[in-house]
Structure 1
C-alpha cells in the first residue's frame, strides 16, 4: 500500500476589518522533505494550504479533495413574508392553506362546520370543504391534509392542514412544512396561510406563532440539491400570514425566523457535505467566511498544528495525527455592536469531518461508518448559530464559537490503542478505544473555552451510540450539574422546537474510567456509555464555569429523508438571546 502523505501548514486567519468579505492569511510554505515533530512522536510533511478569495455564499463549499465532486451553487429559499388582516374570501393567490385542529372540524347535525371561519369559507366555495372532508375522512389530526383545486373564485387551490388535538409551536412549524410541500408539488408562487382558530391565540403569542409557521415554510422549501446532477428550482416567492396581526412585533419575528433558518440551512449543508468535500480546512474556511461577512461583530482565529502544539493540545492532535488533511482549530468571537458585555458564553462543537474509528475501526452492521460525515454535527450547529447571530446582532453578550476540527483516520503515524495522551490542562489519558475520539478533541476545546473567560459553556457532539439507544433518533441527551443552566437551555429548546432530555451525571460510574497507568481511560465500557462520556468531558471544565454537554447523536440525522436536520441551531440562538437581555 502506498504511503499516506500528510499536509500541514502554519497560518493565522482573522476576519477583515473592511467591508470586503475576503480575508487575509499568512501561509508559510515548507519543503516537502521538512518534517514537523509532534510532542507525542508524530511526523508530517508540510505542503501549503490554499484558500479561494472573493465573496461566495456560505453554503458553497469549496472544491473537493478527491472524486472530482464540486457542489453546485444553490440559493436558499428567498420568500417574502407579509402579515395581513383581511377577509379570507377576498384573498387571491395560488394556495390558501388553513390550519385546523380536531375541534375545528366538528360539524352540526346538518354536516355544516361549527367553526365560523371554516363555515364562511365553505359557503364561499359552495360546500366543497365540508363535502371533501367527509369523503376523505379528514378530521384535523396531525399529519392529515387535503388540497382541492378550484376554478373561478380567485384561488387555484385551498387546503386544510391538520394540527392535531391541540396547537403548539411544533404543530405550527409542521403547518409551514406541509404548506411548503403542497407549494412544491403544485409549483405555486403565492401562498396564504391562516388558522381556523386564530382568535383563540393570546395576542402576545401571535407573533411567535407566525414565526413558527414561517420557519416551517422556509425549511420545508429547502432541498439540498448541490450534489445532484438535476434539480428543480421551487417557484414559491411570497407567503401571506393572515389573521395573526400586523405591525412591528410580528415583522420582527418574521425576520427572526429568516435569520435562524439561514443558520439551520447552513448547518444542514455542512452535515450533508461528504468528507471528500468538507475537510477540516474547508470547515475552517466556512467559519472564517461567517466572520468576514459580519466583521463588525466577529473576529476569527484559526490555529494550525504548530499553534496547537504551543498550547499543548496533545489530546486533540493525537486524533488528527493519521489524516492527510491537517487539523484546524476554529475560534470565532462575537462581540456586541454596542460594546457593553454583561455575560461571556462559549459554544463548543465536535468537528470530526470524518470518523472511521481509527485502529478500532467501525465494522459490522449498525456501525454507520458510511454516515460518519455527520460526526461534525456539533460544529455545524455552532457555526449555524454563529451565522444567525451575526445577522441578529444581540447586545450585552460575548460569545465564543469553538471547534477542534479534524479527521479520525488510520496510518502509520496514527493514534494507537494503549497510547497515553496529555491534554492541555496536564491531565493524562490512556486510549483504550480510538473510536472514542470526539471526547479527546473536545477535552482540549473545553479547556480552551474556559481560558477565554467564558462563564457558561454548552458543548454539542454526536458523541455516543449509547445516547441513541437510550433516547432514540429524535431526542438529544443533556448532562449538567447546574440546574439554572438546565432551565435556561430547556426553555430555549422549547421555543426553538427541539427535543432534549436530561440524563444523570452519575459520579459512581467514574470508577470504570480509571486507568492503572494514566489519570483516566477514554471509555468505560458499554453500560451507561453516554454518562461516562459526559463524565470524561467534565474533567476538562473549570469548576467555576457553568457547563452543559448535549449528546445529539440521534437527532443530527433524519434516517427517513437521508439528510441532516440542522439540529441545535434554534436552541443555541434562543439561549444566547435569552442571555443577552
Structure 2
C-alpha cells in the first residue's frame, strides 16, 4: 500500500485544478452551515451555495455533500466539522478519515483541502495527517488477488495550513508504528509466532539502532520465570522473552518519567489451554491475544524513529497457550520469579502469568514507571464495550498523564477501581494465591490486582485493551480488523509526560 503524499499550497494552484476541492464547514447553533469563510471562493455562488441548498447540508460533524464537476473545476466535497467550540484533535482526525473515504468513493486520486485555517495549528495538522494515513491502511497480504479497481488517494494538497513538513513526518512515524501493530494483529497465528515477534523486534532494532535482548527458554528458567514458562509448556513453538531498549545519548529533561518500561501481552494464540475456549469465547479470533505485544512493537518502531529524550524499554513475554501432554493442568502450582507461588485455577487466565514475570523483570531495570497493555479479560468488554480500554493504577501522576494523553490521540481509556478486598477471592489453600477469583463479577479488577502483586514500589499502570484491539466493522479511520490500539496513546504519553 502506497500512502498519500502531502504538499502545502499557498493558493488554489492551476496544476491541481482537476482535483477534488474539499472544504471544512462548521455547524451554527441553529443547525445551518457557517459559510462566511467561503464567499470569496471563485465558484461559491455557482457551485457551493447550490450544493448546500440541494443536499440540505448543515455542517453537522461527519456529514458530507459532494458534486462531480469534471467539465469545470473537478469535484467538490463539503465536510461537516460540527460546532466550532468543540473542535479538538480527534474531531480533525475523524474529519480527515471522512475526506479519505469519500475521495475513494469519488475515485479521485488527489484532493485540495481547506479546513478554515484549522490546520495552521500544528496539533490539528498532525491529527489531520494521522487521520489520512490511518484511513489509508489496507491489508491484502494473504489474498491471492489484489484489488486493482479502487482508485486510492495519492496526493493531499493542504491550503491555508501551517507549512511544516516536520509535523507531517512526525505523523508518518507514529502511524507507521500503529499500522505495524495492525499488521501483526491481523496476521494469522501460523504466521505471527513468538519467533516472528522476536524477528520483528530484531528488524526494529537494526532499523533504528536499538538494543535487543532475547531470552530463550533456558534463560528464563535460570531467572526463575515459572509463571511465564507454565504457559509455554503446551506449545511446540519456542517461547521468546523480548527486551528491546531505546536509550538516548543523554537525559536532561524535567519529566517525572525519564526511564520507562512498556510491557505487552504476547500470547500469539490462546486456545485456553486445558480450559479450552468453547462457544462464545471466539477461539477463532484468539490470534489477537498478542495485541499488547503488537502495540509495544508499534510504539518501538515510532519511538525509534522519533528518538525522544527518554529511555524506553519494550518487554514482551511471547508464547502460545496450547495443549499437549506437557501442558499445565488446572490445580498445578508454579513459582514466579519473585518467589510467589500460584495455583493455576484456570489455564485460560494465562496472560497474567506471562505478565507477572515480565513485571518483575521490568522493575529490576530501575525504571520510573511501568505501563502494561494486555488483552486480558472479557470482563472489561462487559464494563466498557469495544471503544474504551480500562486503566488500573494507584499512582495519581501516572494516571493523570495517561488520561491527559488519551483525548489527544482519540484512544479512549477509563480509570477503573482497584478494590483491594477483591484480592481475597484469589486466596489459595495450598499456594500464595490462585490466578483467578472464585466469585462472580469484577473479573477485570481481580486480574489487575493479580498483576499488582508483582510490583513492589514502581509507579505502574495496567491497560486492559481486550475490547479495543479489534473491530468487526469499519468506523472512522479504522478498517475492519486490527485497530493498532495503544501505539498512538503510548507514543503521545512518552513524548508529553
Same-fold call, TM > 0.5? yes
Q: Is the 8 A contact 1:105 1:115 kept in 2?
A: no
Could you report, residue by residue, the CA deviation over 1:391-426 in whole angstroms, capped at 9, with x for unpaired residues?
A: 11112x111000000000111100110000100000
Paired residue for 1:56?
A: none
Cα distance in 1 between the residues matched to 2:106 and 2:56: 23
Task: Give the corresponding residue for 2:159.
Answer: 242
Picking from 556, 568, 573, the partner of 2:486 is 568
Q: Aligned to 2:40, what secondary structure does the other structure show?
A: helix
For 2:450, which of 536, 541, 545 is the aligned residue?
536
**CA displacement, residues 270-321 of structure 1 (integer Å, 9 cap, x when unaligned):** 00011011111111101111001111xx111111100010111000010011
CA–CA distance in 2 between the matches of 1:240 and 1:338?
A: 38
Matched with 1:173 is 93
Give the alignment of 1:143-154 within 5 angstroms: 143-153=62-72
> Please, what is the CA RMSD of the aligned residues?
2.1
String of CA shifts for 1:192-245, please: whole Å, max 9, x gaps: 22214x3xx596xx1111111111111111111111222236543321222133
Q: 1:519 aligns with which of 409, 415, 432?
A: 432
Q: Does the alignment pair 1:98 with 2:23?
A: yes
Counterpart contact for 1:104–1:140, Cα < 8 Å:
no
Query: What SS does structure 2 have at the residue aligned with 1:547?
Result: strand
Q: Which of 541, 548, 570 is the matching residue for 2:461?
A: 548
Offset from partner CA, 1:348-386 (integer Å, 9 cap, x none): 00001000101111111x211111111000011111000
Task: Report the equivalent of 1:188.
Answer: 108
Measure, in 1, the Cα distance between the counterparts of 2:13 and 2:97.
21
Map of 1:76-225 to 2, 5 A cutoff? 77-86=2-11, 92-103=17-28, 115-121=35-41, 124-153=43-72, 155-165=73-83, 166-196=86-116, 198=117, 206-225=121-140
Q: Distance in 2 between matches of 1:355 and 1:202?
A: 44
Report deviation, 1:185. 2.8
Deviations 1:489-515 (A, max 9, x none): 111222222100000111011110111
Q: Secondary structure at the match of 1:400?
A: strand
Query: What is the DSSP-based 3-state SS (H/G/I as helix, E as strand, rest coil) of the residue aligned with 2:184?
Result: helix
Deviation at 1:125, TM superposition (A): 4.9
CA–CA distance in 1 between the matches of 2:200 and 2:15?
A: 46
Shift in Å at residue 135 of structure 1? 2.7
Q: Is the 8 A contact 2:34 2:59 kept in 1?
A: no
Q: What residue in structure 1 maps to residue 386 of structure 2?
A: 473
Q: 1:281 maps to which residue?
A: 195
Relative to structure 1, the CA distance from residue 530 to residue 493 in structure 2 (aligned partners, 3 Å threshold; closer, same or farther) is same
Of Structure 1 and Structure 2, the greater helix share is in: 2
Instruction: Provide the secondary structure at the position in 2 that maps to 1:127.
Output: helix
Which residue in the other structure is 1:452 paired with? 365
The Cα shift of 1:97 comes to 1.4
Deviation at 1:387, TM superposition (A): 0.1
TM-superposition CA deviations, 1:155-211 (whole Å, max 9, x none): 321101122233221111111111111232344332122214x3xx596xx111111
How far did residue 87 of structure 1 move?
A: 5.0
State the alpha-carbon separation in 1 of the partners of residues 368 and 420 from structure 2.
23
* Contact 2:26-2:34 at 8 Å conserved across structures: no
Map Cα deviations across residues 303-344 of structure 1 (whole Å, 9 max, x no partner).
110001011100001001101111100100101145768721
- Does 1:256 pair with 2:170? yes
Q: What is the rounded CA distance, in whole Å, between the counterparts of 2:291 and 2:47 in structure 1? A: 46
Contact 1:337 1:393 (C-alpha < 8 Å) held by counterparts: no
Question: Following the alignment from structure 1 to structure 2, what is the Cα–Cα distance between the partners of residues 434 and 133?
Answer: 59
* In structure 2, C-alpha distance between the alignment counterparts of 1:185 and 1:215, rounded to whole Å: 20
Aligned residues: 484
The unaligned stretches of length 5 or more in structure 1 are 1-74, 108-112
Shift of 1:152: 4.1
> Does 2:293 match 1:379?
yes
With normalisation by structure 2, the TM-score equals: 0.93
Structure 2 contact 125–162 (Cα < 8 Å) conserved:
no
Structure 2 CA distance for aligned equivalents of residues 319 and 286 of structure 1: 22
Match of 1:313 among 208, 225, 233: 225
Q: Deviations over 1:39-97 (max 9, x none)?
A: xxxxxxxxxxxxxxxxxxxxxxxxxxxxxxxxxxxx4x333212333259996342121
* CA distance in 2 between partners of 1:486 and 1:347 (Å): 15
